Structure 1
Amino acid sequence: MGVVVAVTFSLDSQLVASGSGDTTVRLWDIKTGAARHTLKGHTDWVRTVAFSPDGQLVASGSDDETIGLWDREDSCIRSGDKTIRLWDAKTGAARHTLEGHTSWVRTVAFSLDGQLVASGSDDTTIRLWDAKTGAARHMLEGHTSWVLAVAFSPDGQLGHTNSVWTVAFSPDGQLVASGSGDKTIRLWDAKTGAARHTLEGHTSWVRTVAFSLDGQLVASGSGDKTIRLWDAKTDNFNTSP
C-alpha cells in the first residue's frame, strides 16, 4: 500500500475505505483490520473516497482526472472528467458540472441536508454550491495557499477548513479532528476551540481523518502508508489495517 491520503467509514461502521498514492481504493474490515477488496482502475493518486448512504457504492476521485464509482465487489461502474461533477449514484449519470475554480480541486463535501456542496482548491478559495441546481452560492477567500480539506458541521451552520491537511467533525458536532504534517491527530472542542487530545503514533504526516457514524472511532491515513483507528473518547490506539 502506498501513501494514504483519504479515509472514510461506511455508515454501518463495518468498513473503512482508503485512497492511496498507489492508485488503488481499498476496503478494510474494521473488526479484523484485514483488507476485503482492492479496487483498481485509477492511474494516479486517489485523493478522496466516499460511501453512498446505503453502503453499496464507493466513489473515488483521482489525480488521473477521473471520478470512479465502484460496487463493494471490486467492479468499476462509471468514470468522469476532471471537473467537479454531481452524479446520480443509482444511474451514474452526471447531474451538474460545477465550474469556477481556477486551479485543481482538492476536496469536496456535502452538507448533511444535501442542499450545499463545499469545495476547496489550489486557487486558495473555498466555494459553496447549490447541490440541486449546481449554481455557485459563495466564494470564501482568505487562505494564502492550497485548501486541502473542507467539512460541514452536523447542523450545517459551519464550514470548517484547514490548509494543513485534513479536518472532520464528529457526528454530534462536539469535536473536530485535524491531521497535520507534525505526524499527529488533534481533537478539538468545536464550541470553545480548546484542544482535547493529541493522538500520536504515525511516523509521517497525517493526510486524512474521519469519524465513525457513532463518533466512537477516528480513522487516520498517513504518509507512513498506514491507516490507524483511535478511540475518540480516550485517545487510545486501536489497530492498524
Structure 2
Amino acid sequence: MEIAMPNGTSFMFDIHKQLVARNAVEVHAFAEITSDYQRCLDQLRDLRVRNAQLDKEAAELRRESVELSHAAQEARNGVANSQEASLDVADMRAEVSKLKDELAPVYKDKARLTEELMQCRESLARVRDINEKHSQALDEATGRIRDLQSRNKELSQQVDNERATQAVAASELETSRHERAEAEQKLNKLTADNDELVQRLVEMKATEVERMNEVNRTCDEMLKSARSMERQAAQQAQQSANSMRHTSSILRTPSLSGALRGMRIRGAETGGEVAAPAAATPVPEKATKSVPAHDGGCFTCAFDRSGSHMATGGADKVVKLWDPATGANTGSLRGMLDTILEVSFTADQKHLLAAGGDQALRMWDITSGRVRHTLTGHTGKVSSVDCSPSSSLRAVSSGTDRTIKVWDLNKGYCLRTIMCHSSCNSVRCTRDEHLICSGHFDGTLRFWDIRNGKMANEVTGLHTQQICSVQIGTRDGTVLTCGKDNLLKTVNPQTFEVKQTFRAPQFSVGTIWCTACISPDGQHVAAGSGNGSLFVWNMETAAVAHELKHSGSQPILASAWGPAGQPLVSCEKNGTVTFWSGQ
C-alpha cells in the first residue's frame, strides 16, 4: 500500500512565501508611522537650531541693552549740564527704545517656538507610544514566525520519518508477499499430503467397519442365543410358579406376613411410586421415534423416579413433558428467561426444577403448570441442578460463579452456599443424604458434606480437561463422569478410586454440557457423541456394545435411561429428541 507524502521543497517554498507576504503587510503598516516620526524629528531638530539662534540674538540684544543703560547712567552722572551729553542720551534712549521694539517680536517668536516645541514633544511621545506598541506587536509576530519555522522543521522531520516508514512498509510488504507465496506452496503440498492421508484413513476405516460388522454379527448371534435361553428360563420359571401356588397359604402366617409388610421399596416415604428395577436392562438397538422438541437445540432430559414422565429443556426457554412409552408431548412449562441447561424431578414427582442461563432456578407444580418458586442467588449461569433422592424438599445447584447452593424447596430459599476452587459444571446428590459430588472445570471430581459445607474428598486429575457431567448409578451409587477429553470414567464413592475408563475411536464430546447416563441395572453406560452417534459401553469390560445412529442425526448433547430400563432417550443439537429401545 502506497502512502501519499507531500513534496518537501514546494511545502517549504509555500511557507517562505507566506512569511514574506506577512512581513510585507506588517512593514507597510509601520511605514507611515515611521515617516511621520522622522518628519517630527527633523522639525524638532530645525526648531532647536532656530531656538538656539533666537536665544543667541536675544542674549546679544540684552548685552547691548545693558551696555547702553550703563552708558546712559554714566552720561547722566558725568555730564548733566552738557548739551552734547543730552543729545547722546536722547539718541541712546531712542536706540534703546528701538532695540526694545526689535526685542518684542523676538520674544513672541520665542514663545511661539516654545509652544511648537512642546507640541512636537507631545507628538513625539505619542509616536513613541505607538512605536512601542508596534514594536511589541512586531516581537509577537517575530515569535510566531519562529514558532512557524520550528513547526515547519518538525513537519519536515515527520515527512522524512513517514518516507522512511513507507520504505520499511514497502519492504515488509514485499517480504510478506514472498512469505505468502512460500506458505501457499507449503499449503498446496500439505493439502496433497492430507488428501493422501484421508484416503488412507478412509481405507483403514472401511476395513475397521468390516471388522466391526463382523463383530456385530457375532454379537447379534450371541444375543439371539441368550434371548432364546432367557425364554426357556422364563418358561421353566412359569412352570415352577404354577407348581408353587399351593404354598400361598404359608404366606398368610402372622410371622411371614409381618415380614412382608416390613418390606418397602425406598421412595414410599416421599410419596412417589418407584419403578422396580429391571433384572437385566435390554441394550437399545434402534430408534423407535424422533420428535422435533426445541428450537435452537435441546440440552437436557430427565425421567421422574417412576419412569412415567420425562422432561426436556433447550434454547427455546421451555420445559416440555413427555410420555416415555409413546413419545408424545404431554405439556409445557414456561417462565425461564434464558436457555435451559438442566432439569430435575423432585423425589415426590410433584414438582420439577430447571436451571438456566438467567442466573436463577424455577420450580413448577407439574399438575397445575404454575411456577411455585424462583430461586435466585447465583451470579452466573446456573449450569446444573439435582433434587435429593431421599427428600422432596431439598435440591442442589451449581453455577459458573464457582458456587454450589443447597435449597429448601418448601420455603424457596438457600440453606447453604459452598465456594468451589473452580467453576462447577455438574452437581449430584449421592445415596448418602449428606454427601454431594461435583464435576469441575479443572477436571477434578469433588465430594462435599452439606452439613458443614466442607469438602469431604476429591479425585484430582480425573480428566485432563473439564468435567462436563456427573451421574449417580441407582444400583450401587457408582459415580459416572464425562470429560471434555472424550473419556468417561466411573468412580467408587466409598474408596474414591477409578473403576473403569470408557473410550471409543470415533467418540467425541460435542459440548461442555454433554450428559452421560448409567443403565438401571448398572451394566451399561451411554453417552452421545459429536458425530451424531449414541455410544453404549459394557460396564465390566469397557467395550463398546453398540454405536446407535439414525438418519439425519445431529451431535447428541444429552442422554437419559428410563428407570424401568427402557427407553433410552437422547437430545440432539438441532432440538430433536430420539427414543431408543431394544427387542
CA-CA distance at 1:156 after TM superposition:
4.8
Residue in 2 aligned with 1:198?
Answer: 547
2:430 to 111, 124, 129: 111
Select the residue among 447, 463, 468 that pairs with 1:148.
468
Q: Within 5 Å, which residues of 2 pair with 1:42-53? A: 42-53=336-347
Q: Is the Cα–Cα contact under 8 Å of residues 404 and 420 in structure 2 kept in the other structure? A: no
TM-aligned CA deviation for residue 32 of structure 1: 3.7
- TM-score norm. by structure 1 comes to 0.87
Paired position in structure 1 for 2:458? 139
The amino acid across from 1:94 in the alignment is: C
Aligned-partner SS, 1:31? coil
Q: Relative to 1, partners in 2 of residues 1:119 and 1:188: Cα closer, same or farther, differing over 3 Å?
A: same
Structure 2 counterpart of 1:70:
364
Q: Do the aligned partners of residues 31 and 170 (structure 1) sit closer, same or farther apart at CA in structure 2, a change above 3 Å counting?
A: closer
Quick check: 1:149–1:166 contact (8 Å CA) kept in 2? Answer: yes
Question: Take 1:98 and 1:197, find their aligned partners in 2: how far apart are those partners?
Answer: 39
The answer to whether 1:130 aligns with 2:449 is yes
Name the SS of the counterpart of 2:453 in structure 1: coil
Q: 1:161 to 1:80 in 2, by over 3 A?
A: same
Distance 2:443 2:338 in 1: 23
Give the match for residue 226 of structure 1: 576
> Residues 115 and 199 (structure 1 numbering): CA distance in 2 closer, same or farther, change over 3 Å?
farther
Check if 1:84 corresponds to 2:404: yes
Matched to 1:173, the amino acid is: G
Q: For residue 528 of structure 2, what is the amino acid of its counterpart?
A: G
In structure 2, what is the equivalent of residue 237 of structure 1? none
Partner of 1:18: 312
User: Alpha-carbon deviations, 1:24-51, whole Å to 9, x = none?
Assistant: 2111122343322222222221111111
Alpha carbons of structure 1 residues 86 and 128: separation in structure 2 relative to 1, 3 Å = same
1:33 to 305, 308, 327: 327
User: What is the identity, as a one-letter code, of the residue corresponding to 2:371?
Assistant: C
CA distance in 1, matches of 2:543, 2:452: 38
**Once structures 1 and 2 are overlaid, which stretch shifts more, 19-28 or 83-92?**
83-92
Distance 2:421 2:370 in 1: 31
- Alpha-carbon separation, structure 1, partners of 2:473 and 2:451: 20
Contact 1:88–1:95 (8 Å) recurs in 2:
yes
Q: Kindly tell me: are residues 172 and 53 of structure 1, through their superposed partners in 2, closer, same or farther at Cα, counting changes over 3 Å? A: same
Give the distance between the partners of 2:452 and 2:353, measured in 1 at CA: 21
More deviation in 161-170 or 113-122? 113-122
CA distance in 1, matches of 2:365, 2:518: 26
Q: 1:96 aligns with which of 413, 416, 422?
A: 416
**Change in 2 beyond 3 A, CA 1:9/1:174:** same
Structure 1 residues 223, 192: CA separation in 2 closer, same or farther (over 3 Å shift)?
same
Superposed, 1:143-222 pairs within 5 Å as 143-156=463-476, 158-163=478-483, 164=509, 165-201=514-550, 203-222=553-572
AA of the residue aligned to 1:39 = L
Residue 8 of structure 1 aligns to a residue whose secondary structure is: strand
Give unpaired runs (5+ residues) of structure 2. 1-293, 379-402, 484-508
- Identical amino acids, percent of aligned pairs: 29
Q: Structure 2: which amino acid aligns with 1:176?
A: V
Unaligned runs of 5+ in 1: 235-241
1:157 deviates by 5.3
CA drift of 1:175 comes to: 1.2
Aligned partner of 2:180 in structure 1 is none
Q: How far apart, in 2, do the equivalents of 1:17 and 1:49 lie?
A: 7
> Could you say which structure has the larger radius of gyration?
2
Matches of 1:132 and 1:227, distance apart in 2? 38
Higher helix share: 2
1:90 Cα deviation from its structure 2 partner = 3.1
CA distance in 1, matches of 2:329, 2:468: 27
Structure 1 residue matching 2:568: 3-state secondary structure: strand
What's the C-alpha RMSD, in Å, of the aligned pairs? 2.0
User: TM-score of the superposition, structure 2-length normalised?
Assistant: 0.38
If asked which structure has higher relative contact order (CA below 8 Å, sep 6+), I would say: 1
One-letter code of the match for 1:124?
G
Identify if the C-alpha distance between structure 1 residues 11 and 206 changes in structure 2 by more than 3 Å, giving closer, same or farther. same
Displacement of 1:193: 0.9
